[in-house]
Structure 1
């Protein structure tokens, strides 16, 4: 049940921030029953979809890609259940999920564009930092690793195209691949950032970001335990995925909170999926990078994303108010005595 909650005025002498959309309506408490149902349904369906992989060739199965794409829609299925069956939220569900409206248009489009670019920048910084630290052997001049991959994929007797041109084409295709990937990423994002994050916001902004990110990571377990992402088929792989999703969840969650819209997070998720293999394009021939360290969800990426989070906090972009939308409650302007911590 949602109830109107008035927004206290900003203290005199301070500028009120741009108010989030419909921030005056929200739950007083976390809907724990709905949260439990959402998590159980999303994770249970994920395991059900992945079951054929566990009885076949695992991550090497030709069914892996299509089943992984289907699995990405299991959070959306969980959203349908909690919104239509449990009626949480009870009204204006598209607005509560951040699907509509798109105004203010400039802010929504600007943060969507940032969602397209930011994962590329983070993954590129992760790759270069890992190389600088000696954690991965890169070949940024000869591109020997990428050349070896291309040569191995060409039919016998086929002339080798200029590897630099091929790499440039790969990089230029990232924005288009990101938009295509966003079509599937929507199935996840409508669950994680559309429903779960706002539902947890009564706990505080940071607890909501961290818990929703952890659930996102655990949801990947059916694929991670098959060796996907990190080539670790034990709890270590799951813990690495949880850490990576918590780190990325802060950035994607901030896009959701700052924009009052789901779409910047959807595009950012699609962009992350599109650029995730960058280190494999820049690695030196004969060297296999440890994705748990140098990959987009690995340890170095955690550090880069932590630095991004520090910048967001230091600039007042994160941690001063909950997210917009009817699923959340408004808070006063920063500096008000009644502003909640976190």
Structure 2
């Protein structure tokens, strides 16, 4: 625990302090309506990575590039088959969880869904085209909905770089540091930290507009705990931060699904519905519990080191 005692508080202070510093201009220049909001939000996403890099270089003082990469989860991706498998899961699982959240919300009655005619999405597109002085697109709405899944895949790849700004800190560096505490405490602690780190934006009304700040931040923490548990599983099983970063990018790319499947003329409370609300946490929570119960959070077996006089072993199970 002595290893954790010094670097973790320094990382926490840096990541939280820099997040507030980067977001502070929004508090004095229009908040979410600031025309450069996206720029400030993207800059904030890199603060956990900056904090992790400072700790690795100047607090832990790793002696070489290889040990620094390993400390950040950027080491070897071998065996390649395992790495690619978890990359594929990282691309697919977050959109699936977001869709499942909408289905659960619809079943509970807090999300007014239209999974057949996509009336809300069609009305939104028509409104946007009308504002541009254009006629509605002569394309079946179902085809346009299907195209959104391709957009999510493309968006996931693009979003991976800013997502790495967060994941390099939370899952890349911090998660292995906390692992001696046990996997459940790791999921809870890192999830709470990840959620509270969003405070500079959440308290401005981001994600939960109109909700009291304390309630919005509590809801954000609930979401980051369960979703962070899934990202943690990808990080641990792949022995790399990249699947967690891709999952984060895929998650952000699919966030707009709640607008695609909503009933025309309806709205929903993000505290109740979508992946942001309590009904959206149920499926990822069940997934994390199943993964825990089946031992899927055990670290992946390290890749054997082959010396010059040895032959490479036959590939086996993880």
Q: Residue 30 of structure 1 contacts residue 203 of structure 1 at CA under 8 Å; is this kept in 2?
A: no
The list of structure 1 runs, each at least 4 consecutive aligned residues, that deviate by more than 6 angstroms after superposition, is none
User: What residue in structure 1 maps to residue 55 of structure 2?
Assistant: 82
How far 1:142 sits from its partner (Å)?
Answer: 2.0
Alignment check: 8 A CA contact 2:156 2:249 kept:
yes
1:1-342 alignment, distance < 5 Å: 29-87=2-60, 92-156=67-131, 157-161=133-137, 162=139, 163-231=141-209, 232-318=211-297, 321=298
Distance in 2 between the 1:290 and 1:208 partners?
30
More helix by share: 2
Deviation at 1:129, TM superposition (A): 1.3
C-alpha separation in 2, matches of 1:30 and 1:224? 32
**5+ long unaligned stretches in structure 1:** 1-27, 326-342
The answer to whether the 8 A contact 1:226-1:233 is kept is no
| Residue equivalent to 2:309 | none
Q: 1:197 to 1:82 in 2, by over 3 A?
A: same
Structure 1 range deviating more: 241-250 or 135-144: 135-144
Residues 273-314 of structure 1: per-residue CA shift (max 9 Å, x gap): 000121111101111121222222321121111110122123
- Name the stretch that deviates more: 286-295 or 66-75: 286-295
Distance in 1 between residues matched to 2:25 and 2:126, nearest whole Å: 33
User: For the residues of structure 1 that align with 2:30 and 2:2, how far apart are their CA atoms?
Assistant: 45
For 2:14 and 2:224, the matched residues in 1 are separated by 19
Distance in 1 of aligned mates of 2:188 and 2:63:
25
Gaps of 5+ in 2: 303-318
Which residue is 2:314 aligned to?
Answer: none
Distance 2:46 2:99 in 1: 28
Aligned to 2:271, what secondary structure does the other structure show? Answer: helix
Post-superposition offset of 1:96: 2.1
The 8 Å contact of residues 167 and 241 in structure 2, kept in 1 or not, is answered as: yes
With structure 2 as the length reference, what TM-score do the two structures score?
0.89
